[in-house]
Structure 1
């Protein structure tokens, strides 16, 4: 955690004018002389490009596996246990990629564009990979999912940092929430076709190939936004608080640890939702629509998050989001009906990327334009929580025959996280007035 206090070493790309990692812009220039209409147009272009970038890296690179898992089970490619390990491999990659983001140096747009290309190729590989030996096939698939996780994490951190900073330069930081509609958009764009593919008995390989083509199309649409046609050094920015360094370090560590709780809390449902719903609702077509509904909830939640005033304390907002997700996780257990699962998807999805937005906004509150190292740690520990979920779920399913126990553990974990965020918020409220104001 020493990176929290070593801002210079973690963010040399923004402080060294000769470094190759100066913020690259497209045909957009951050000129204060730009008319307001032009700045709005540029800001929307950045926000929408960030949305589609995360749709590729997260919605396809990470989460396309979820709607395709029932098809892979049907094709006999995996069973529930090996499917869980494939999911875990992706989350391990996500964790590794987040750690890499703490130390990576270079032009952010280079990593974003390279990650988009890698996502296309890795998704394509999932559809083309074949081996006569089952063990060899599993090793190859696990390698692909691990690399996909690394790529998703790197793109997420660099795209988030670049887009949020660019929007701040264009004086429209409130559009940052739109970026985090991306995972929901990607989930929707993969979930709806997947339900159609199931109905028409497509193979899982065909699904992977279709999603690779979709990733290529979306990547092409944002490519120019991340092209290096001009570059400027990031403007100097001071931290938006009056906290002492030791207070910043303590709050950063607390934020990272409690944020990681959320990674474990949601991931079992997000990984096995179609499987869980099919077990509870056999011979029903509704389970195929639950995953797209989850994506709709994510996108709506991200948009609603942009309407929340910036003065609201991020930790209080995170506590509320964790409670919502805990309720969403338990809905399928308490009410294993179409309505129960649908409401659970909405409650789980609405705060999904809002949680990310509030956490990244809190990182920028603490470190301003030097927050990328903290963003990397946040993403890494969140990924660590995700690694634990799938193998725990498959282990408990083997012991009990249902997902009830693992989902209950996940919900309780989220409630504990909510309580901890609430305590962090309450402690800030007891500080002297100047520090209390600085915390917002």
Structure 2
């Protein structure tokens, strides 16, 4: 028997534990590389193109991990625990082991571990919130990546004093401390019901959503979601990977560049909370269009207004809809497919992952040759703007009365 219990007061316990799990897996395990990259470049242990490859290998690992989740038959809580421990060990390995090949293996494995933790912690936590009747705490879970990103950004700002090796080991130690604090929460006693990841909340789809799924869940809409969600992965990841490097190029010698990445992370937190409160009857495609447009403006600002104010505002606009985009995409998949949405979410996640893989290996060589990230950032902004326009078109077309011209 699980010792978790289903009283409403346990909803907060589940939400906070999953929040910390995502902070470790995403903020530390996945995105600590962003503030560490300029330090490793400065120390000469890595060049810009190598940094792009390591980033893409991490996103490749995330892609592989996300695809593998549907085939895993291990209890969700055990997968969360395993993914968290692996994340901490791999962070320590980045400081204790050296060489590009070893780092490539570690970053790929870290991507796999972060995907497993994200998927299984999301499913476990959303199911617990459904059982306790506290669905609205779902936004709390998805503040975790923002909290982790902000923490790595602030700690990474000190890394130039410690050196990259000490900083990676410090990140690993912080991860172990956080894992110890939530370890006992993820104890399900091996329930069979916990063996499959839940990609969407466990609550039954409302009748209107089920009806819409039957009428509106055609292959064309599903394909549009998969393709356009991939544009989000490509559009944000160039800035999310190279923001401190971009800021250093724009503001040489300034103390500000180390602060834009934690600002991005802090913006994720209110974005997740507000996004989770969006009424269910609002059109997800129009919400996604607005979120894409916001991120496109954020990316464009770093090119058009490359000073402290422009980079700060750009970081905020990029971070605010970061996890809200994922929430809206999950809702749209559920609208289209109802309780059978897991497959569509898997394909959409894979598309998003491909966009993330392509982004750094496209941007780094181009920035190296031109000496600037201007062209890659403009392409990223164009991808996001195009996705926004297409989501808006699909949404408005669906709202048009039958027979209208």
- For the criterion TM > 0.5, the same-fold answer is yes
What are the Cα deviations for residues 108-137 of structure 1, in whole angstroms up to 9, with x where unaligned?
A: 22211111111011111111003xxxxxx1
Q: What's 1:122 paired with?
A: 90
Between the aligned partners of 1:162 and 1:372, the Cα distance in structure 2 is 14
Q: What's 2:5 paired with?
A: 28
Q: CA deviation at 1:308?
A: 2.2
Between the aligned partners of 2:232 and 2:94, the Cα distance in structure 1 is 28
Are 1:215 and 2:182 matched, yes or no?
A: no
Q: What's 1:196 paired with?
A: 158
Contact 2:49 2:368 in 1 (8 A): no
Q: CA deviation at 1:343?
A: 0.3
Q: CA deviation at 1:162?
A: 2.1
What are the Cα deviations for residues 46-74 of structure 1, in whole angstroms up to 9, with x where unaligned?
A: 11111111101100111000001111112
Query: Are the structure 2 counterparts of residues 151 and 139 from structure 1 closer, same or farther at C-alpha, using a change threshold of 3 Å?
Result: same
What are the Cα deviations for residues 329-367 of structure 1, in whole angstroms up to 9, with x where unaligned?
A: 011110110001000000000000111111122233344
Contact 1:93 1:150 in 2 (8 A): yes
Between the aligned partners of 1:120 and 1:413, the Cα distance in structure 2 is 34
What are the Cα deviations for residues 283-327 of structure 1, in whole angstroms up to 9, with x where unaligned?
A: 101001111111101112112223322221211111100000000
Q: 156, 159, 179: which is aligned to 2:121?
A: 159
Q: 50, 58, 71: which is aligned to 2:26?
A: 58
State the superposition RMSD in angstroms: 2.1
Q: What's 2:304 paired with?
A: 334
What are the Cα deviations for residues 48-101 of structure 1, in whole angstroms up to 9, with x where unaligned?
A: 111111101100111000001111112211011111111011011111111112
Q: What's 1:5 paired with?
A: none
TM-score (norm 2): 0.91
Q: Mark the runs of 5 or more structure 1 residues left unpaired by the alignment.
A: 1-23, 30-37, 131-136, 433-440
Contact 1:47 1:175 in 2 (8 A): yes
Q: What's 2:198 paired with?
A: none
Contact 1:27 1:229 in 2 (8 A): no
Query: Are the structure 2 counterparts of residues 155 and 85 from structure 1 closer, same or farther at C-alpha, using a change threshold of 3 Å?
Result: same
Q: What's 2:264 paired with?
A: 294
Q: CA deviation at 1:247?
A: 2.7
Equivalent position SS for 2:255:
coil
Between the aligned partners of 2:394 and 2:3, the Cα distance in structure 1 is 40
Between the aligned partners of 2:293 and 2:203, the Cα distance in structure 1 is 37
Q: 48, 53, 56: which is aligned to 1:88?
A: 56
Matches within 5 A, 1:3-402: 26-29=3-6, 38-39=7-8, 41-130=9-98, 137-198=99-160, 201-229=161-189, 231=191, 233=193, 237=204, 240-242=209-211, 243-244=213-214, 247-402=217-372
TM-score (norm 1): 0.84
Contact 2:217 2:337 in 1 (8 A): no
Higher alpha-carbon deviation: 317-326 or 173-182: 173-182
